[in-house]
Structure 1
Amino acid sequence: MPAPLEAHDAPVFIGAVTLRVHDLPALTAWYRDAIGLRVLHQDAGSADLGVGGRVLVRLEAGAGQPTSTAGLFHLAILLPSRHDLANWLRHAAQMRLPLDGASDHLVSEALYLTDPEGNGIEIYRDRKRAEWPLRPDGGIAMATERLDLDALIGEADAGPYAGMPAGTGMGHVHLRVGDTAAAEAFYRDLIGFELMVRYPGASFLATGGYHHHIAGNIWGSRGAGPRRPGEAGLDRFELIAPDAADFAGVRERILAAGGDEAGGVPAIADPWGNRLVLVR
């Protein structure tokens, strides 16, 4: 059985990410064939894709047009190992998927691409926590360095790609926000995440000492206001709190910050209209 993901060794972590899409059948096929997720459920209005019964990406039909620069920068699918990342890179090369980038972040190694409707995706693997470098003040050190794709793909297996492996999960979500201080005020001060790292124009937050479960940047969205209801792209993402006490604590924070509990599910929107849903 695969070891638990570093991202999930935390009181609260990221679950399924829901996207509003224009062409549900086409995008469902793309996430199945290009990304390597399995279709777990599909009907006329939505599709759930994931690994081992765990939903990672939920697609919902009926998207409107984007009207804001805020929203999703990328969703980040976390693979269990470097070997799994190598296998996915070989698959991407065989499918001639265009990559937007490839980076060594010191704590992780990541590949970037964009789906046919413009949603950013990161496919990555974490190094073990004991290998994460630290800054002089004791915080986690992160950087963006070149990832050697030739060396990585040299570790891949031969043969057809079998899809993303057991143990794959959602690692983090990275958002376009209008102001990083406002993002910190919401996700840290109201919801209870810890500030882990600041980059120029970006803030990275997490629980349990992870490098980041949520990030927000202003690289192309400085000053952006709330998104309009029904826009294409990110609709919501899950916060998973497996422990009852952790769940109760985050639920209390969500409701105190003005969230709701329709249908018994605590939820709240951030200042840009991205909705968080708390689940066990």
Structure 2
Amino acid sequence: MSTTYQIPATTHLGEVSLKISNLDRSILFYTKVVGLKLLTRQDQVATLTADGLHSLLRLEEVSNSITLPERTHAGLYHFAILLPDRKSLGLAVRNLVASGIDIGQGDHLVSEAFYISDPDLNGIEIYADRPRDTWRRDADNNYIMATDPVDVQSLFDLSADAVWSGLPAGTVIGHVHFHVRSLEEARSFYSGILGFDIVGNFANMSALFVSAGGYHHHLGLNIWAGVNAPVNPANATGIDYFTIVYTHAHEAEQAAQRLSQSGITVTHDGGVWYATDPQNIGIRLIAEA
């Protein structure tokens, strides 16, 4: 197997699936607080959308579920909802403030971000990117990022004349960020096999960021829950799977073949390939419809 494989530059992320403990409660949270819209609901599964057509988030209620304390296990740190512009971000933050929920924030230089948790302690980032031509790299080719205070007032001013009607069309899953068992193991899997480029080797933060096409990160990987942190039991709330979206079917198939050749179990069903990463997080590989 080639060691120089690079993931196609147009690759991006799609639907994220979460295991939750109470579907009615989570639907209410994700529609009223986050601003997604209910797309489908059947039995204990619901999908939510921004554009009314495509699912960004899948929720599945798990019987007899447990919710583990944060930073005690490998799995989801947060999934990140990317808004198309600052005005949309300002509106979304206005709604978060009105909801009374606890909100974290960070100006990361490449983006402006706000952080919340859902009722099952699943972390959520809601953010907007700065123009790509303003992103800078250091001498080691890592993106220069920070966690500075966000200019919230300017976001409020920008959105002052707009009416909140939920997250707009053009909203996507921007990235996912995981607690992993080992950074080297995660690097080997996501960069070595799947071909994501390393864009942030932040040893001082015990974190690694990887992406396709020069994005600031599609995947954040950290060991903040501890090296060799235990994976989630099957009945724990948290992430079920995330989706890697390729432009062409042959690209997804090539990625699936690389996983299989590396000893990873891969299954295939109707144009979708399924695998799991070393944290037992599910991965769906699909091509653009």
What's the TM-score once normalised by structure 1's chain length?
0.91
2:102 to 87, 98, 112: 98
Structure 2 residue aligned with 1:271: 278
8 Å CA contact retained: 2:67, 2:120: no
2:265 to 249, 255, 259: 259
Q: Deviations over 1:65-85 (max 9, x none)?
A: 256611100000000001111
8 Å CA contact retained: 1:11, 1:243: no
**The residue matched to 1:189 in structure 2 has which SS?**
helix
Structure 1 residue aligned with 2:82: 78
Q: Deviations over 1:212-241 (max 9, x none)?
A: 101111112332133322321101011111
**Which segment drifts farther, 127-136 or 102-111?**
127-136
Structure 1 unaligned blocks of 5 or more: 1-8
8 Å CA contact retained: 2:80, 2:174: yes
**Deviation at 1:104?**
0.9
**Deviation at 1:160?**
4.3
Q: Distance in 2 between matches of 1:185 and 1:66?
A: 29
Q: How many residues align?
A: 271
Q: Distance in 2 between matches of 1:37 and 1:74?
A: 17
Q: Distance in 2 between matches of 1:144 and 1:224?
A: 25
**The residue matched to 1:154 in structure 2 has which SS?**
helix
**The residue matched to 2:158 in structure 1 has which SS?**
coil
Q: Distance in 2 between matches of 1:65 and 1:94?
A: 29
Q: Distance in 1 between matches of 2:268 and 2:66?
A: 26
Letter matched to residue 55 of structure 2? V
Letter matched to residue 65 of structure 1? I
Q: Distance in 2 between matches of 1:170 and 1:135?
A: 26
**The residue matched to 1:251 in structure 2 has which SS?**
helix
Structure 2 residue aligned with 1:156: 159
**The residue matched to 1:205 in structure 2 has which SS?**
strand
8 Å CA contact retained: 2:75, 2:231: no
Q: CA RMSD in A?
A: 1.8
**Which segment drifts farther, 244-253 or 120-129?**
244-253
**The residue matched to 2:89 in structure 1 has which SS?**
helix
Structure 2 residue aligned with 1:58: 58
Write the mapping of 1:66-215 to structure 2, written as runs, cut at 5 A.
66=67, 69-99=73-103, 101-158=104-161, 160-199=163-202, 200-215=205-220
**The residue matched to 1:152 in structure 2 has which SS?**
helix
Q: Distance in 2 between matches of 1:188 and 1:228?
A: 26
Letter matched to residue 74 of structure 1? H
Structure 2 residue aligned with 1:5: none
8 Å CA contact retained: 2:109, 2:146: yes
Structure 2 unaligned blocks of 5 or more: 1-7
- Pair 1:139–1:217, CA change in 2 (3 A): closer
Structure 1 residue aligned with 2:24: 25
Q: Distance in 2 between matches of 1:125 and 1:160?
A: 18
**Deviation at 1:158?**
4.0
Structure 2 residue aligned with 1:6: none
**Which segment drifts farther, 33-42 or 255-264?**
255-264
Q: Distance in 2 between matches of 1:134 and 1:148?
A: 23
Q: Deviations over 1:52-72 (max 9, x none)?
A: 112111000115325661110
Write the mapping of 1:8-47 to structure 2, written as runs, cut at 5 A.
10-47=9-46
8 Å CA contact retained: 1:255, 1:266: no
Q: Distance in 1 between matches of 2:278 and 2:84?
A: 33
8 Å CA contact retained: 1:178, 1:225: yes
